[in-house]
Amino acid sequence: MASNSDFDTWKLPQLREYLIERGVTVTGHLKPVLISLCKNVCSLNLPKDPNFISVNIKQTIENKLKAIGCTFTNPFTINEGFTSDLTHAPVITLRDIFNYLVCSISDFDGERLLAWKSFNDTRLADDGHVILLEFNDEEDENFNIFRANVKPTQRDKTYTQKAYYGCWIILRKATNVIEVSYCECKGG
């Protein structure tokens, strides 16, 4: 690992590579500014791969579900127990979503935050973008599962050429707190 004094001896390509690996823009900066940026990035201990490009999403999700004690590994593969009748489903509020997104998770990288749209959930539902919303409280005795299919807002198909994005939210039954969520869209 580099120390702050190392950057003064580095050549321009090394400085740029160090910053780019950590998601810092290098365009238009002269060498003294790049050295300063490198020193600041080093003192902040910014990790490589800030956009989680090398992360295996499937494995990460399975690990998160396992860590909270779920008996299933992928809500998309559960075929029974879901209903579109939400009369007995717990209520998820905007505050619950905010607390989950802002206060409790750390895997929202810069790209996902830029792609994420501010709390448009009600408008999207009213505009017909949520084409399926299901609830399951039978699969696991400790968790409720919400699952939905959402049409893209900007295109006819998703970036993976599907007609909709699949998403899910896992709530702990005892507290109604969102434990884990996932969406196939760029915003996550």
DSSP alpha helices (H): ranges in 12-166? 12-21, 31-44, 57-68, 94-98, 110-115, 121-126
What pLDDT, on a 0 to 100 scale, did the predictor assign at position 69? Answer: 93
Cα 188 from Cα 4, distance rounded (Å): 35
In a domain, 49, yes or no: no
39 & 97 share domain = no
Whole-prediction pTM value?
0.64
What pLDDT, on a 0 to 100 scale, did the predictor assign at position 23? Answer: 83
17 & 62 share domain = no
In a domain, 172, yes or no: yes
In a domain, 52, yes or no: no
What pLDDT, on a 0 to 100 scale, did the predictor assign at position 48? Answer: 80
Cα 13 from Cα 42, distance rounded (Å): 17
Digit-coded pLDDT (tens) for 125-179: 777 888 889 999 988 899 999 999 988 877 777 777 888 889 999 999 999 999 9
Are the beta carbons of 186 and 108 closer than 8 angstroms? no
What pLDDT, on a 0 to 100 scale, did the predictor assign at position 168? Answer: 92
110 & 164 share domain = yes
150 & 81 share domain = yes
112 & 133 share domain = yes
Domain containing residue 12: 6-44
119 & 158 share domain = yes
In a domain, 50, yes or no: no
Write the CA distances from 118 to 57, 101, 148, 151, 174, integer angstroms.
Answer: 23, 11, 18, 17, 28
- E strands, 58-188, in order: 130-140, 143-150, 165-172, 177-183
Tell me the pLDDT of the chain averaged across its residues.
Answer: 82
Which ranges of the chain have pLDDT less than 70? 1, 4, 49-55, 104-122, 124, 187-188
Q: Which residues contact 150 (CB under 8 A, 6 or more apart)?
A: 124, 129, 130, 131, 164, 165, 167, 183, 185
In a domain, 188, yes or no: no
